Amino acid sequence: MTLPKTGIIPDGCRSGFPARLVVPSNTGRYAHGYTQRGITVITTKEGSGVVASAVEIRGLRKVYSGFRARETVAIDSLDLDVPIGGVFGFLGPNGAGKTTAIRCLLGLVTPTKGSVRVLDSEVPRGLPDVINRVGALVESPKFFPGFSGRLNLELLAATRRLPASEVERVLDEVGLADRAEDHFETYSLGMKQRLAVAGAILKNPDLLVLDEPANGLDPAGIKDMRELIRRYGASGSTVLVSSHQLAEVQLMCDSVAIINRGKLITSGAVADVLAGHAARLRVAIDDVSGASLVLESAGFVVQPAEVPGQLIVEAGESDAARVTETLAVSGRYLRGLRVETANLESVFLELTTRGDT
């Protein structure tokens, strides 16, 4: 078998990620390829190139100057690679710097330091070349309040020279078709959010950037949004989505980055991020301090739980019987024991509250 062309895998573009090769083709689109075991396999006959990230952030720093020269370091020394293709979750607690980073990559604010490349173009200089391939929803988008949802989208479509049929497509995609004639000002928060997402996907972007797209959505709306995002990611586009809904993120993202206080805490494929965090046992028992000592002298690593009357043993399901036995032998009987497998929420909390007082 002859291997097709290969390229260089950038940092953060781990083995197994779908990736696309930047090929100067006459269509101006990317060709498809995959990274496997460190080699990028390109499934096209088009010319050669190197694999690039959809978004590449290097040494980004953003300092906001505020009242009485008070400065806020919103982003600090941030390096980030968003692989091409798939869904990338951008996570962090309130004020971590997610929106600021997104604003930097869309050229909406000027970084204090560092560089940002989007679809292989430097921001802000090269942004005009790629902006037609980028759809974005950042915080509350502006629509004409007295115009219908459809008319607002038609105006957007017209400025981008898109056919009216595209408006119907996106209204259907976001589930707003039956309220499309209503004025924007009469929309609920969730409906406004749906319209904003419709605006972002109108140009069928190669890179879709969604800052908290589930804001204001009801459970059915959240599920619809997840499906829409997954559809986009699976179609070869790249979706960069910031969210606080970690269970959602785990369901829809191929890879994630967690930031805190403007700095990157971890990033990679969801499975890789979770892999570093083993399961643990949550034990409910009356004599927490006595039980901790007994377990520690039996060789277990024990942590205090965040609620009284419980402790956390750094051990997996296979150790549950030994934990129970150790405690029973010492005359302590547990009230409950639960195996907690690592999920994005537990990892997020562990990583973002570490060192907090």
- Residue 213 in contact with ligand ATP, rule: CB under 6 A: no
Size of the site for ligand ATP (CB under 6 A): 12
- Residue 215 in contact with ligand ATP, rule: CB under 6 A: no
Closest approach of Cβ 92 to ligand ATP, in Å? 5
Separation of CA 133 from chain center: 19
CA distance 116 to 113: 10
Residue number, 99 or 245, with CB nearest to Mg ion: 99
Closest approach of Cβ 109 to ligand ATP, in Å? 8
- Residue 341 in contact with ligand ATP, rule: CB under 6 A: no
- Residue 95 in contact with ligand ATP, rule: CB under 6 A: yes
Residue number, 112 or 204, with CB nearest to ligand ATP: 112
- Residue 94 in contact with ligand ATP, rule: CB under 6 A: yes
Cα torsion through 9, 11, 12, 18, rounded to 10: -10
CA distance 67 to 283: 49
- Residue 243 in contact with Mg ion, rule: CB under 5 A: no
- Residue 221 in contact with ligand ATP, rule: CB under 6 A: no
CA distance 1 to 324: 55
Strand partners, 121: 118
Closest approach of Cβ 101 to Mg ion, in Å? 9
Q: Where are the alpha helices (DSSP H) in 118-216?
A: 127-130, 149-159, 164-173, 189-201
Partner from Mg ion, ligand ATP, none binding residue 64, C-beta < 5-8 Å depending on class: ligand ATP
Count of residues for the chain? 357
Residue number, 104 or 153, with CB nearest to ligand ATP: 104
- 253 with 272: CB under 8 angstroms? no
Closest approach of Cβ 74 to ligand ATP, in Å? 3
Cis peptide before 124, with omega less than 30 degrees from 0? yes
Stretch that binds ligand ATP, among 28-36, 96-104, 220-228, 335-343 (CB under 6 A): 96-104
Q: Which of residues 72-111 bind Mg ion (CB under 5 A)?
A: 98-99
- Residue 71 in contact with ligand ATP, rule: CB under 6 A: no
97: tokens are: 């710097």
Separation of CA 81 from chain center: 12
First to last CA, the chain: 58
Separation of CA 247 from chain center: 12
3-state secondary structure string, 308-325?
Answer: CCEEEECCCHHHHHHHHH
- Residue 215 in contact with Mg ion, rule: CB under 5 A: no
- Residue 68 in contact with ligand ATP, rule: CB under 6 A: no
- Residue 144 in contact with ligand ATP, rule: CB under 6 A: no
Closest approach of Cβ 65 to ligand ATP, in Å? 8
Partner from ligand ATP, Mg ion, none binding residue 66, C-beta < 5-8 Å depending on class: ligand ATP
| CA dihedral over 40, 59, 122, 143, signed as positive or negative | positive
CA distance 233 to 220: 20
Binding ligand ATP by CB under 6 A: which of 7, 18, 89, 92? 92
Residue number, 94 or 165, with CB nearest to Mg ion: 94
User: Which residue ranges make up the site for Mg ion (CB under 5 A)?
Assistant: 98-99
User: Which residue ranges make up the site for ligand ATP (CB under 6 A)?
Assistant: 64, 66, 72, 74, 92, 94-100
